[in-house]
Amino acid sequence: MVTRFRLRLYLLALCILAGFAVLVLRLYRVQIIEHDVYVQKLPGRKYETVRIPGIRGEIRDRNGVLLAQNVSNYEVRFDLKAIRDEYVKRHNTVPKRKWVRYRGAQPVEEEETDIVAIVESLVFPGLAELGLLEDYNANQMRVHFRSTGGVVPFTYRRDLTFEDFASFAEHNIGLPGVTVSVNGRRNYIYDSLACHILGRVNLPDIDKVPEEKRSEFRYYVGDDYGVEGVEKAMDHYLQGVPGKRVLVKDEKGKFISEEDDNYVAPSAGADVYLTIDAKIQSITEESLRKVGRGAAVVIDPQTGDVLAMASVPSFNPNVFIPEISVDDWNRYTQDKTSPMFNRAVNPNAPGSTYKIPIALAGCLSKSWQQRFTCGGGAQYGNKFMKCWCASKGYTHGSPDLGEAIKVSCNGFFYRYANHTGIRNIQTMSNILGLGRPTGIQITGEQPGNAPGPEWMRMQGLVWTESYTAMSGIGQGFVEATPLQMASVTATVASGGKVFTPRIVKKVMRRNGEIVWEEPPVPRHDLLKEGLTAAQIEIVKKGMWRVVNEGGGTAGRSASKITVLSGKTGTAQTGILSQPTNAWFIGFAPYDEPELAVCVFVENGHSGGGVASPIAKNIIEQTIAMRKGQHEIKLTQMTEAKGNLDFYQSVSFEGEGVVIASADDPDNVNVGDIVPASLRQRSSQPSAGVAKPSIRNKADAEGSVSGQNTDNRRKFRLFRALGIRR
């Protein structure tokens, strides 16, 4: 009996132990092995996906010199919806305010959530503890919340220092809906250097993102995007590949962790290598700063590569990063000299530099063999169109083509153009790429104008010999860009090869993969278009005579270190305050040309006195640098300031520049004379300058920085002492 009782007791004890063992094993499995699985099933736990912007590619010059890069930028963002929801949980109410909406022209008073009051109550005390409060635009926050419902994060600050970022991260104050993130910020290494080439970027614009793309993420943090220059033209290559972060919120809506397994790192976009040489660009910009408004382009005649492209005045693209202030934007846009305007790719009447394409057009007929009288000008209808020498009391006689180029005889080219015929002129203009965009990979390029009978008919007028004569001296309705005229110069220098100017050399990923590369290929060859080498040599030699023979219009440009050749141009504008613009196109050396240059100066007295010395300085410094005789050190370049002065002459020795009065009688009739009523106004800055990301001024309601505690100073002291709080 006792034995049977003990057996039952043992069995009961064994069952109890087995039960406890099963319970312990189950608890071990649930709490240890499957802990993460059950944690994720806790009520109220949420997972938020955050899009991480891709890393924008870099921009470098032809030698790999870095021109535009990304640096770390620390930002404070508010999830306004989360902040509002947390406020409701704590207070079970939402503060409201009245505001006026206009429907049509009628004001309608409506009620809305006072998001500013909520943020200032729930978030600002914590930020003040860290000294991170800054004045802001409260109305901008209201508009953002009103238009997005708080789904898109509101960026409160974009200018945190690393110290501020470290302070926030170290203290982890756990404010609802507040995140501090590290993003890439564009930095232009040399400030204003090549600003019109590089362009600039804007902050992300959520309105440009399709809804289906936005719906993939709870927090969609967009990418900066190019709005001008190479930044825009090559934006699709520069854009990086976005990453993804998954954040975990607890039942109270606070971020408590990040899922490392689901993290996808962003990757960099491709790097763009330009054809420009940063040192030649620096030489060109410094040379051009002798004047207040102008442009210069340097091309390699053997490839069509743009080695430098400058426009003055200039701007600093870093001023736009991450946002430009209202004051700075007004300073740029209200400046009468238009620093945002890229004069290198915008057209003006080219004056006598256009006689070079006209000279080449005459080689399609027998005009190049003829001598034409100067006669002090030519009569067309009831108008006698003068040669510039008439005001000096003499004529050029009956020169041949080379001599006419040398002395820039208008009378010769009036007759030469009409003998050649407008059809041949249009054919040559088309071959040389005049009257249409070159297609260079920057924004803002305008086509210029190579007019003919069809174009004139569209204006409701009839083409006559007088219009052909004016085209012969680059006036009337003719317009060309400095880039186009530099390309024409390169064609003559290379013996007839017409390249499409290019400014992007290649696009390459960080791993060395070439994404895009197109070798320079001649678009046309004048030797295959009916011209001979001897004909091209006559034009080329004429340009040599302009600089190197007595009586040439650019004798001041004769060089002691190279053989420089060129052609001057002085174009009347029909504008009393700006009577003439100065041009010069040139190349060097003569036998094996390395550089083709065009310089354009607004409000310049003459091509020989104002533009040619600038071109000479660019060529001489570049050749000296290449020979190791002149060292160029790249440094940050300040903005070139513009002015409306009238430049009598430019020199790189002694007195430098001479500024004259535009209404001085001695400054009248210095160039190609044509009725002002037939001239178009000089190209003016386009009204379509891309609007930047503008940083609004703080309003009265957003003045909060005075609420900061002294914690920032204490934090700096603790960090200096190595103390962690």
Q: Which of 379-383, 562-566, 712-716 has the highest mean pLDDT?
A: 562-566
- Tell me the pTM: 0.84
Residue 665 confidence (pLDDT): 38
- Residue 331 and residue 445 share a domain: yes
**Enclosing domain of residue 612:** 278-678
- Residue 563 and residue 496 share a domain: yes
Point out the domain boundary residue: 639, 663, 678: 678
Residue 309 confidence (pLDDT): 98
Task: Give the pLDDT band of residue 379 (cuts 50, 70, 90).
Answer: very high
Residue 388 confidence (pLDDT): 92
CA 139/CA 370 separation, integer angstroms: 74
Question: How many residues would you count in the chain?
Answer: 725
Range in 467-481, 551-565, 592-606, 671-685 with the lowest mean pLDDT:
671-685
Range in 37-41, 153-157, 534-538, 576-580 with the lowest mean pLDDT:
37-41
Q: Quick check: 42 pLDDT over 60?
A: no
636-689 pLDDT, tens digit per residue, is 999 999 999 999 999 998 656 666 544 443 333 344 333 333 444 444 554 568
Domain CATH code at residue 258? 3.90.1310.10
463-482 pLDDT, tens digit per residue, is 999 999 999 999 999 999 99
Q: Quick check: 254 pLDDT over 60?
A: no
**294-299 and 595-601 as β-strands: parallel, antiparallel, unpaired?**
antiparallel
CB 307 within 8 A of CB 332: no
Judge whether 708 lies within some domain: no
Strands (E), 287-402: 294-299, 306-312, 324-325, 377-380, 383-386
Judge whether 537 lies within some domain: yes
Residue 40 confidence (pLDDT): 59
Judge whether 494 lies within some domain: yes
258-296 pLDDT, tens digit per residue, is 677 788 888 999 999 999 999 999 999 999 999 999 999
- Residue 236 and residue 191 share a domain: yes
Q: Quick check: 47 pLDDT over 80?
A: no
- Residue 586 and residue 656 share a domain: yes
CB 428 within 8 A of CB 368: no
- Residue 299 and residue 243 share a domain: no
Residue 466 confidence (pLDDT): 95
- Residue 332 and residue 242 share a domain: no
Residue 312 confidence (pLDDT): 98
Q: Quick one: what percent of the chain has pLDDT higher than 90?
A: 59
Report which of residues 721 and 33 the model is more confident about.
Answer: 33
Task: Give the pLDDT band of residue 718 (cuts 50, 70, 90).
Answer: very low
Residue at token pair 């943020």: 119
Residue 166 confidence (pLDDT): 75
Point out the domain boundary residue: 242, 274, 306: 274
Judge whether 101 lies within some domain: yes
- Residue 302 and residue 158 share a domain: no
Task: Give the pLDDT band of residue 245 (cuts 50, 70, 90).
Answer: confident
Judge whether 710 lies within some domain: no
Q: Which of 133-137, 157-161, 458-462 has the highest mean pLDDT?
A: 458-462
CA 169/CA 155 separation, integer angstroms: 17
Q: Quick check: 398 pLDDT over 90?
A: yes
CB 100 within 8 A of CB 216: no
Q: Quick check: 705 pLDDT over 80?
A: no
The residues facing 718 across adjacent strands are none
- Residue 282 and residue 151 share a domain: no
Q: Quick one: what percent of the chain has pLDDT higher than 70?
A: 88
CA 472/CA 360 separation, integer angstroms: 11
Q: Quick check: 316 pLDDT over 50?
A: yes
Q: Quick check: 326 pLDDT over 70?
A: yes
Residue 513 CB contacts under 8 Å (≥ 6 apart), including other chains: none
Which residue in 476, 683, 657 sits closest to 600, CA to CA? Answer: 683
Residue 1 confidence (pLDDT): 54
Residue 307 confidence (pLDDT): 98
- Residue 337 and residue 394 share a domain: yes
Judge whether 693 lies within some domain: no
Point out the domain boundary residue: 252, 274, 296: 274
Residue 159 confidence (pLDDT): 77
If you ran DSSP here, which 8-state letter would residue 373 be given?
Answer: -
Judge whether 573 lies within some domain: yes
Residue 76 confidence (pLDDT): 86
Q: Quick check: 28 pLDDT over 90?
A: no
- Residue 313 and residue 212 share a domain: no
Q: Quick check: 152 pLDDT over 80?
A: no
Q: What is the mean pLDDT of residues 61-67?
A: 98
CA 384/CA 389 separation, integer angstroms: 14
- Residue 108 and residue 53 share a domain: yes
Q: Quick check: 484 pLDDT over 50?
A: yes
Range in 122-136, 201-215, 470-484 with the lowest mean pLDDT:
201-215
Question: 437: cis peptide before it, omega within 30°?
Answer: no
Q: What is the mean pLDDT of residues 330-356?
A: 96
Judge whether 691 lies within some domain: no
| Total tally of structural domains belonging to the chain | 2
CB 594 within 8 A of CB 619: no
Report which of residues 543 and 203 the model is more confident about.
Answer: 543
**CA-CA distances (angstroms) from residue 642 to 214, 313, 405, 522, 646?**
44, 5, 33, 37, 12
Residue 690 confidence (pLDDT): 84
Residue 666 confidence (pLDDT): 39
Mean pLDDT of the chain: 87
Question: 675: cis peptide before it, omega within 30°?
Answer: no
CA 437/CA 444 separation, integer angstroms: 10
Residue 41 confidence (pLDDT): 59
Residue 679 confidence (pLDDT): 44
Q: What is the mean pLDDT of residues 110-125?
A: 90
Domain CATH code at residue 346? 3.40.710.10
CA 536/CA 542 separation, integer angstroms: 10
Residue 683 confidence (pLDDT): 45
- Residue 320 and residue 201 share a domain: no
Q: Which of 77-86, 162-171, 447-456 has the highest mean pLDDT?
A: 447-456
